[in-house]
Structure 1
Amino acid sequence: MRYTYNILLTAFLTLTIFSSGFCQEKSDKRPNILFIAIDDMNDWTGFLGGHEQTITPNMDKLADQGINFTNAHCSAPGCSPSRNSLLYGIEPFNSGLYPFYEHDIHATLMKEYTSLPRLLKENGYDTFGAGKIHHGNLNDEREWTHYDETKGGKQIFVEGEGYQKGKSKKMSFRPTHHADEDHKDHQVASYGIDVLNEKHDKPFFLAVGIVKPHLPFDAPKRFFDALPENIQAPAIYEEDLMDIPKEGLGMRKAGDYNFFKKEGKWEDVRRAYLACISWADFNIGRVLEALENSEYADNTIVVLWSDHGYHLGEKMSFKKFTLWEEATKVPFIIYDPRKDSKVKGGENYDEAVSLINIYKTIADFAVIETPKYVDGESLVPVLKHPNKTLKHPAITSWGKGNYAVRTEDYRYIRYYDGTEELYFHTEDDNEWYNLAKGEEYQEKKEELASYLPQNEAPLVKDFVAPWSVEGEGREEFRGTEVKKKKKASMK
């Protein structure tokens, strides 16, 4: 009897050890994730065709290898709300995180939500990060196995070239001639390369946060020199603003647009933006080359995205912070090289897609269940079947009550005061003609309006940046800002 028991016990222990080893082996074969976050890059890339003079060979190559989401849009047209939405997996209208927040907000958010890096780390991934991932450096050990706080070096500008508005370091559009290694983005990319050259016993998540083309638009001189002598301006219609509601007009940054036009500096600004895009592409290419040459090339999924778009004169505006196409459309590519993934590369996906879907997509790749609050849907089915249509269009929020709904063919905007805009992209890709008042479009408006949030979370007021509050509740915060300025001036 004891002999039989010992045989059974031995068999059980052997099976347990084997099963444990099998599960560990299976776990270790989960894909690595290279997560490339870009700051303020619109569709002025080769693979999106937003500007014919742009030079982006590395991202173009990635788009040719992977799935190029040609109609991708951010959850909010600003760094802070866009990244909060993507990294915590929740739409602004469900979190109340509509505007910008001071960096201290993350201590609160980490109590309420599980960030994407944290989800991966808590489920067996090593997580590495550098550059701008969250809005503000958030080096939290709950998220990162290691986070490298790169700072860049002293900048040296080419004398007599480029343009600087007054003495503002931020409003600089100049070529530099100090070493590449002293630029922050080069250091961020170098950190990514170092991680890819290391030996890893666990699946890893590597987040590389490229800051350019965020202001200031400064980049090494060779990227300015590579551009044509004359920079093509985007298409601008002088009567574009005649049919736009007051709320929409109030969002655009008219001051900078008018200043650059008056001073004849728009070409300098656009040249510098394109140079910064090429510089970003160069550093992204360095990381992609390191991945291609590493032992992880066949089991690492690349997810590349930008947090929002950017106006370079379209709609007579500069920067972001609107609900129009230029501010919401972003580069977004997913490349899955695994032979058994059934993902066919080299495809374009033209249906509207929101960046809110990234959280569930990466969790799906990693075989991790997401928290119940997480919004969006996994894009893995779309990657395998590019003809598949998603359940929801892309929704962009900019303040409570202000939303844009983007489908493959239409953009519908409704502001908190009930005013509307409607654009038919098949015939009006520049969004010059607002069709919202046309009787023949009322049914289409109702269809698109059905996707708007039925219940809006109240604005989170802790750590809020008053200047960025739009929509319902704006007057309360703008009044607070004015009072603070008056109080300061009296001291």
Structure 2
Amino acid sequence: MNKIFIFFTVCLLLLGSAGADAQEKQSKEQPNFVFIAIDDLNDWLGYMGGHPQAMTPNIDALAQQGSAFTNAHSVSPGCSPSRNALLYGVEPFNSGLYPFYEHDIHKQLKEKYVSLPQFLKENGYNTFGAGKIHHGPEKGEVEWTDYLEVEKFAKTFAEGKGFHDNSKSSFRPVTNPFEQLPDYQVTSYGVDIVSKKHDKPFFAAIGIVKPHLPFDCPVQFYDALPDAIEAPAMLANDLDDIGPEGNSMRRVGDDNKFRKNKQWESVRRAYLSCISWVDHNVGRLMKAIAEGPNADNTVVVLWSDHGFHLGEKRTFRKFTLWEEASRVPFIIYDSRKANQAQQNVNQAVTLINVYRTLADYAGLQAPEYVDGFSLLPQLNDPEAPMAKPAISTWGRGNYSVRTKGWRLIRYFDGFIELYHNQQDPNEWHNVAGDPKYQSKKQELLALLPAHEAPIVEEYIADWSLYGADKARLKKSGKKDGNKKDKKKEKKKKNKNKQN
């Protein structure tokens, strides 16, 4: 009896040891991911050369240590379609998710797709989230092992600095302690995660909201900038060669207001100061990784959902298919290769490839429907050819294709813009009609999607409708149907409460 008991005890110990060894082996083979999602950050960074007065030493250092995709572009120049594409892994022209959607759309999307955090969680990762990852408060257990609830505080503004029109478009620095600001709390959560040992590989998604409006950050970063802020390069007749659809995407009212009130310099100062604040928090997180127990097995992926205009093309914000709204920071740093020389990838690429790249890193097979391709070949050899073109979308029928030296935009009404970015980096001269470039135009047109999914008509934010569906949906009123149903439901609930 004792021999039998001893035999089973030894077996159990061996099985337990084998299980622990297997778990430890898996943990070593599968890297941890630190996923830094930044909102509305354009190329105004030191390493990208977007603005000469940018103060971004920490992001620049990360670009030097890792592989910087210097010609990276958003899938779509708006938070909702961009993040939906990246996190669910589907191009807008395959999903039908062209515009912005109300947050309830995620209930529908989760029935059809497996998001990146859910995919990793289902395959053995602990998933931690904080800040803005999805466009909307998606914090459920299906995707997340844990999600930070940010503590909110009233803002206190520095007197006599910047300006504001209303609560949503403030360009003033704040005097709050760092700990009261959401991005600091979100980063502190990330610092805590990466500073601990974990029994499973982890995916830590840190969503930094600045430099999204309002442009308010600690006054120290505002004051650190030079007295005079340089304006981006602009051309007086830049808009003479664009069509009606491209022109309709511009935020003319903002530009006119800032010009009339001579506020553009204050706007740009506030934006640059918010970038410095972002950089400060990225630095805190990278320091914690380097000093923590996961320093030798962590992959950092830093990205922004789209770019941002600050007067170029006489517009403000994003929502265009030009370079300013398209180009984004995108860096991948693999700490396991920390002693190897890193090289920039200068080929054009979009963020649709993030899903398959992380799956490849983890040794996992991404769901079959996921678009894009793994970028591991380019990380090993920056000249390895890209499997698919870099396409951006803003409204069904409106597409941009970017290559190493060119951008072609084709709008749903057939109007075409062609820019030779190596010679014309500001995209001032549309050469689509120049006979010299007709073969290049046809070459790039052939790269645009041959098929496009019909737009998903539920939960649309109607202000974001562009392209082939805009007039039809506005005329039919379908875009309002869901809102009307919601109002009826709310009325019904209120009546039930009263009864």
Shorter-chain TM-score bucket reads over 0.9
Aligned partner of 1:407 among 403, 406, 411 = 403
- Higher deviation after alignment, 194-203 or 261-270: 194-203
Distance (Å, rounded) in 2 between the aligned partners of 1:318 and 1:64: 30
Aligned partner of 1:382 among 363, 378, 382 = 378
Aligned pairs for 1:262-273 (under 5 A) are: 262-273=260-271
Match of 1:293 in 2: 291
1:454 deviates by: 0.9
Q: Does 2:177 align with 1:190? A: no
CA contact (8 A) 1:64 1:345 kept: no
Match of 1:157 in 2: 157
CA contact (8 A) 1:72 1:332 kept: yes
Distance (Å, rounded) in 2 between the aligned partners of 1:325 and 1:286: 30
Distance (Å, rounded) in 2 between the aligned partners of 1:345 and 1:305: 21
Distance (Å, rounded) in 2 between the aligned partners of 1:147 and 1:483: 32
Aligned pairs for 1:10-159 (under 5 A) are: 23-29=22-28, 30-159=30-159
Aligned pairs for 1:438-457 (under 5 A) are: 438-457=434-453
Distance (Å, rounded) in 2 between the aligned partners of 1:480 and 1:319: 29
Q: TM-score, normalised on structure 1?
A: 0.93
Q: TM-score, normalised on structure 2?
A: 0.91
CA contact (8 A) 1:466 1:481 kept: no
Deviations 1:200-232 (A, max 9, x none): 100000000000000000011010110000000
Q: CA RMSD in A?
A: 2.2
Distance (Å, rounded) in 1 between the aligned partners of 2:193 and 2:20: 26
Q: Percent identity?
A: 56
CA contact (8 A) 2:357 2:373 kept: yes
Match of 1:4 in 2: none
1:476 deviates by: 2.8
Match of 1:254 in 2: 252
Distance (Å, rounded) in 1 between the aligned partners of 2:476 and 2:179: 43
Match of 1:423 in 2: 419
Aligned partner of 1:467 among 444, 463, 466 = 463
Letter in 2 for 1:34: V
CA contact (8 A) 2:196 2:292 kept: no
1:264 deviates by: 0.2
Specify the SS of the correspondent of 1:298: coil
Distance 1:200 1:254, change over 3 A: same
1:140 deviates by: 1.3
Q: Does 2:212 align with 1:208? A: no
Letter in 1 for 2:255: Y
Aligned partner of 1:222 among 220, 223, 231 = 220
Specify the SS of the correspondent of 1:330: coil
Specify the SS of the correspondent of 2:46: coil
CA contact (8 A) 1:356 1:375 kept: yes
CA contact (8 A) 2:312 2:324 kept: yes
Letter in 2 for 1:26: K
Distance (Å, rounded) in 1 between the aligned partners of 2:149 and 2:247: 39
Aligned pairs for 1:345-360 (under 5 A) are: 345-360=341-356
Aligned pairs for 1:172-191 (under 5 A) are: 172-191=170-189
Distance (Å, rounded) in 1 between the aligned partners of 2:63 and 2:27: 27
Q: Does 2:334 align with 1:336? A: yes
Deviations 1:367-410 (A, max 9, x none): 11111110001001111111212122210000000000000000
Q: Does 2:432 align with 1:436? A: yes
1:195 deviates by: 1.2
Specify the SS of the correspondent of 1:349: coil
Aligned pairs for 1:315-330 (under 5 A) are: 315-330=313-328
Specify the SS of the correspondent of 2:275: helix
- Higher deviation after alignment, 246-255 or 302-311: 246-255
Specify the SS of the correspondent of 2:400: strand
Deviations 1:256-276 (A, max 9, x none): 011101110000000000000
Distance (Å, rounded) in 1 between the aligned partners of 2:12 and 2:188: 46
Letter in 2 for 1:202: K
